[in-house]
Amino acid sequence: MGRGKIEIKRIENSTNRQVTYSKRRAGIVKKAKELTVLCDAEVSLLMVSSTGKMHEYISPSCTHKNLYDRYQQASGSNLWQPHYERMQDTLQKLKEVNNKLRKEIRQRNGEDLDELSFQQLRGLEQNMEKSVECVRNRKFHQISTSTDTYKKKIKNHEETHNSLLREFEERDADFSFPALDFEGDYQSTIGFATGNPQIFAFRLQPKLQSDLQDEEAYGSYGLSLA
């Protein structure tokens, strides 16, 4: 090759390594071109230098992807194809399941009943009656629970109110402030204490409004999947 036999072993000097890389890269690309022309071959050559730069040669009228795909096919070690096909399969299954689920919902919503037999209709009816009973029970359970909760809260606030009253009465007994000033403070404090449960009641309204919106949206998810 050059002035004295060279040993095929990593070049430690990084500059020389790069120089050699450039020279030899040009040589190998030239060889690849010659192989293409002389022998009608197709060649895909990808090279990355130790500094990370990439160079390539590809025969005319051919792409790296094309050759790589053929290589995969030939070597039988195609790892992507099965993965891709499995995905496609899963997608299909999911779509089918999705359609089944939608149909069931439509049927439970009183639509799309034409293809059901009498027995199926009877089963569906019974099932729905049983289910509506569950919903009803849950509703009653919820309303009684929340009523209890509010009762407890009100009771709690009343107790606080009463203990405050007592506290102030005790202070009234211990000290003697001017009656009018004290009366003013006292009133406002009562106003706050008794007002609290009402604030709760008002805060309830908007919450219920949004719940109603949710309810209207029931069974009409905005689904637009291909």
Partner DNA sequence: CGGACTATATATAATAG
Partner DNA sequence: TCTATTATATATAGTCC
Question: What is the rounded distance in angstroms from the CA atom of residue 138 to the CA atom of residue 112?
Answer: 28
- In the list DNA, its own copies, none, the entry touching 191 (Cβ below 5 to 8 angstroms by class) is none
Range 8-37, binding DNA (CB under 7 A): 15-16, 18, 20, 22-24, 26-28, 30-31, 34
The amino acid at 46: L
CA 109 to the chain's CA centroid? 28
Cα angle 111-117-119, degrees, rounded to a multiple of 5? 110
Restricting to residues 46-85, name those near its own copies by CB under 8 A.
Answer: 46-50, 54, 56, 64-65, 67-68, 70-71, 74, 79-80, 84
Least separation, in Å, of the C-beta of 45 and its own copies?
5
Q: Is 60 in the site for DNA (CB under 7 A)?
A: no
Distance CA 166, CA 100 (A): 66
Residue 2 tokens read as 């050059």
Distance CA 103, CA 60 (A): 54
Closest contact distance (angstroms) between CB of 89 and its own copies is 10
From residue 69, give the alpha-carbon distance in Å to each of 65, 73, 79, 104, 199: 6, 6, 11, 44, 70
> Residue 84's binding partner, choosing from DNA, its own copies, none, with beta-carbon cut-off 5 to 8 A by kind?
its own copies
Rule CB under 8 A: choose which of 5, 38, 176, 203 binds its own copies.
Answer: 38
Name the binder of 26 from DNA, its own copies, none, CB < 5-8 A by kind.
Answer: DNA
Our finding on whether 52 is near DNA (CB under 7 A) is no
The interface partner of residue 180, options being its own copies, DNA, none and the CB cut-off 5 to 8 Å by kind, is: none
Contact with its own copies (CB under 8 A): which of 108, 168, 182, 193? 108
CB of 56 to DNA, least distance (A): 17
CA angle 4, 7, 10 (to 5 degrees): 130
225 touches its own copies by CB under 8 A? yes
Q: What angle do CA 148, 149, 150 make, to 5 degrees?
A: 95
Q: Does 215 bind its own copies (CB under 8 A)?
A: yes
Residue 3 DSSP code = S
* Structure-token pair, residue 223: 């689904």
Among its own copies, DNA, none, partner that 3 touches (CB below 5 to 8 angstroms by kind): DNA
Does 41 help bind DNA (rule: CB under 7 A)?
A: no
Is the separation of the CB atoms in 59 and 42 below 8 Å?
yes
**Closest distance between its own copies and the C-beta of residue 82, in Å?**
13
Q: How far is the CB of 54 from DNA (least distance, A)?
A: 16
